[in-house]
Amino acid sequence: MELERGLRLDRMRIARGGADLVALDMTVTPGETVAVMGPSGSGKSTLLAAIIGALDPVFALSGRVLLDGRDVTDLPTEERRIGVLFQDALLFPHLSVGSNLAFGLRRSVRGRAERAARVEAALDEVGLAGFAGRDPATLSGGQRARAALMRMLLSEPAALLLDEPFSGLDRDRRARTRDLVLDVARRRMLPVLLVTHDNEDAAAGTRIVRIGGDEEDA
Amino acid sequence: MLGPVAAGLLGALGPAFGWLPAIGADEPGFAVFRDLLAWPGFMDAARLSVVTGLASTFLSLGLVMLVLASLHGTRAFEAVRRLLSPLLAVPHAAAAFGIAFLIAPSGWIARAFSPWATGWERPPDLLIVQDAGGLALIAGLVAKEAPFLLLMSLAALGQIRPEREVLAARSLGYGREAAWLKAVLPRLYAQIRLPVYVVLAYSMSVVDVAMILGPNTPSTLSVQVVRWMGDPDLALRLRAAAGALVQAGLVIGALGLWRLGEIAVRRFGLRLIARGGRGRSLRVLRPVALGAGLLSGAAVILGVAGLAIWSVAALWSFPELLPDAMTWRNWARHGPGLAEPALRTLGIAAAATMIALVLTIGCLEAEHRRGLRLTSRGAWVLYMPLLIPQVAFLPGLQTLMVAGGLTGGLGAVIAAHVVFVLPYVFLSLGDPFRAWDSRLATSAAALGARPDRVLWAVRMPMLLAPGLTAAAVGFAVSVGQYLPTLLAGGGRVATLTTEAVALAAGGDRRAIGVYGLAQTAAALLPFLAALLVPRLVWADRRGLRDGA
């Protein structure tokens, strides 16, 4: 069987108490952004939890999750190499901005100086040069979102999930941050799954998939 | 947690029914119980246990409900809340000594009113402390148990979030107190029922407080059991075992009685709610609530102040409010003897707390990783060592430990302390641990961090403040343990608490002051550390400054 690049959800079904909540069968190819839309309660967050391996045990999952042909369905979250950005940046409040990024940076990057340089370069890439020593609580919402993005990219994920990303930001800043994230992802040829109920968010994707409601379809 | 309790109760069964071959008792039967019933003080001792237990639980709960209904959400309540941690940390024995020093005929209260109001030039010949009715004992228990129930209520209220309900009820014309009693109390009580039962079981069977404040003619049943345990006449061990089982039975009976009371109050309350009275005149209770709350807190705080002053008092004659002079002589005299039990107390507390913390974090983390939740049955298991009176299962446990050759060492004492420290550490760390935003864990895992790294590099650092608070609670609980230390140590492991309680009979106020204060400090200082350390460590992390 030929290795298929990208994130493939192979006949994935999530059920609760015997009733199907989400059923999807699709592939997100490298560099593509698929927006999954649905009203609240349609199982968007559950779908996301299933893909990253943090599904609550009350749900039953069938089907496979394949990443670049590798079956990750039974792997724990930390071995999947799927990066995720939530509604909030979720920077660790006890670590400085730089330490947060270093937390994400792969262990294979060795040496203090080299690691610090990589963190500084990542901060520089999103306009946060010189922020390494800062307390995350002193950053603006947009700055936090960008720091969280770089923290994730430093862990070298093979796919990206965005859960209603940046919904805490105002409209203008939100659009700019989203475009930045999608642009960075495209340049790295990452498959992106964007879960949202916002039409503008969804329009930024290359394809829209709707779940829940009457249009439950893959 | 069931293990030690069950083993202890079983260990009491044999001797209670006349079977303890080690001392030549090998004729099983009911002779021991007949002997116990024939002891002339039996009925009085049993009645005293039941009455003081029920009364102090009722008063503690009533006080807490009064304070919450009248003051919750007001600024006065903040004052009450700030008193809470130090009040909880003061060990029972020290608080009991302090209160004894306040209310005794030669205590601060009598001094304050003498001779100008009372005409007393000498302390009056009144039996106030250790009164036959157990009133002093009840007062001492209420002063220590009400803060515990208040703490438990505040934790439960954090989940209930009653502000909107109270507002809704008040907009329907209900007074603040009535809104609280009718809309919040029923749900709150359901959440604090177990702690209330713990208070009832504890109050009925407490030993150290009852030795200090309780009557001697006779004493409560649990004190009597401990006396028999320590009696050179080994035959009395049998009577002690029977007494321990009777004590357990009394507690179970009282719990049943309390449950019936709950049902009655519920029926009555529902009818009262249906009648729709707005209860706006309940406002008059507010100053009563504030007064009663402050009085209860002040009793403990002034008591500790009294201990402090006695510990440095030179000549202090009645009715002077303060000693003629302050001196370090008492500390110089008792200091050398104090050092060894103090170090031992700290060592035992540190070891027991450490073990309890490791077990607690292990349990909570397993709960998190496997997606488990502590069921209500699990909560009962956790509370079991607190619900079954210490005096009921510790003698049996001691008998078994003697049989197994395990008694007398520090290890046995530490193990016994863990049984009582663990529930408190678990209760105090459980909620903050579970309330922690687990998306942070998912975030960290998605960055490639393994579960152990998530726990030690993200979760525990963020939970530093509640973690240290839990450790301080565990430490204070261990410092205050009297009976487990006495029995598991075979009477040979001296701590600040056993030494202080042993001084009760002698009545040397200066020595009691020194030991009581040392005991209080040992329990209180970790709380200070738990308050300060996170502020220093996370001084430049705004997201953690208000105690994550």
Look at residue A7 in the predicted model and tell me its pLDDT.
94
Domains and CATH numbers, chain B: 33-220+265-327 (1.10.3720.10), 330-548 (1.10.3720.10)
| Alpha-carbon distance values, A112 to A94, A115, B388, B444 (Å) | 20, 5, 56, 21
Nearest to B97 by CA among B485, B482, B509: B509
CB contacts < 8 Å between A and B, how many? 78
pLDDT above 60 (res A79) = yes
List of chain A residues whose C-beta atoms are within 8 Å of the C-beta of residue B371? 56-57
Q: Looking at the complex, does the CB of residue B371 fall below 8 Å from at least one CB of chain A?
A: yes
Question: Among positive and negative, which fits the CA dihedral B433, B4, B398, B42?
Answer: positive
| In chain B, residues 431-470 whose CB comes closer than 8 Å to chain A | 437, 439-440, 442-451, 457-458, 461-462, 464
* Mean pLDDT along residues A86-113: 89
Please check the confidence at residue B531 and state whether its pLDDT lies above 90. no
Strand partners, A93: none
| Cβ atoms < 10 Å from Cβ of B498 | 24
- Asked if B204 and B251 count as a contact pair (C-beta separation under 8 A), the reply is yes
pLDDT of residue B406: 66
Q: Which two tokens stand for residue A177?
A: 């941050």
Is the pLDDT confidence value at B371 over 80?
A: no
Residue B292 has pLDDT above 80, yes or no: yes
Q: Flag whether pLDDT at B305 surpasses 70.
A: yes
At B105, the pLDDT band (50, 70, 90 cuts) reads confident
Give me chain A's average pLDDT, please: 87
Strands A59-67 and A70-71: antiparallel
| pLDDT for position B408 | 65
Q: Which pLDDT does position B548 carry in this prediction?
A: 37
Please give the structure tokens belonging to residue B267: 């029926």
> Contact at 8 Å (CB) between B100 and B129?
yes
- Asked if the model's pLDDT at residue B196 lies above 60, the reply is yes
Q: Are B279 and B177 in contact (CB under 8 A)?
A: yes
Q: Least CA distance to A51: which residue of chain B?
A: B446
Please give the ipTM for the structure prediction: 0.81
Tokens representing B29? 């039967």
| 8 Å CB contact of B445 and A78 | yes
pLDDT above 80 for A168: no
Q: Is the pLDDT of residue A215 over 60?
A: no
Confidence (pLDDT) at A217: 39
Task: Tokens for A185, please give them.
Answer: 């992802």
Sign of CA dihedral B385, B386, B390, B392: negative
Structure tokens at B53: 């237990």
Any chain B CB within 8 A of the CB of A155?
A: yes
The confidence band for A218, taking pLDDT boundaries of 50, 70 and 90, is very low
Contact check, Cβ <8 Å, B542/A54: no
End-to-end distance of chain A based on CA atoms, in angstroms? 24
Q: Is A98's Cβ below 8 Å from some Cβ in B?
A: no
Q: pLDDT value at position B1?
A: 62
Lowest mean pLDDT among A119-123, B138-142, B525-529: B525-529
Which of A42-51, A105-114, B91-100, B160-169 holds the top average pLDDT? B91-100
The residues, ordered by sequence, that sit 6+ positions from A49 with a Cβ below 8 Å of its Cβ are A55, A56, B442
| Contact present, B32 and B239 (Cβ < 8 Å) | yes
Indicate the pLDDT class of residue B547, thresholds 50, 70 and 90. very low
Q: Which two tokens stand for residue B70?
A: 């009248």
Residue A70 CB partners (closer than 8 Å, separation 6+)? none
The dihedrals phi and psi of B342, each to the nearest 5 degrees, come to: -65, -50
Residue type at position B210: A
Pairing of strands A33-37, A207-210: parallel
Dihedral angle of Cα B284, B99, B386, B472, to the nearest 10 degrees? 100
Answer with the residue of higher pLDDT: B375 or A62.
A62
- Gap between the Cα atoms of B345 and B495, Å rounded: 5
Instruction: Please tell me the distance from the alpha carbon of residue A157 to that of residue A189, in angstroms, as a whole number.
Output: 11
Q: How confident is the model at residue B44 (pLDDT cuts 50, 70, 90)?
A: confident
Angle, CA B61 vertex, CA B55 and CA B66 arms, to 5°: 120
Phi, psi (rounded to 5 degrees) for A85: -120, 125
- DSSP states along B68-126: HHHHTTSHHHHHHHHHHHHHHHS-HHHHHHHHHHHHSTTSHHHHHTTTTTT--SS----
Residue B129's contacts (CB-CB under 8 Å, 6 or more residues apart) are: B100, B103, B104, B136, B213
Q: Return the minimum-mean-pLDDT range out of A38-42, A105-109, A122-126, B150-154.
A: A38-42
Counting residues of chain B whose pLDDT is more than 90, the rounded percentage is 34
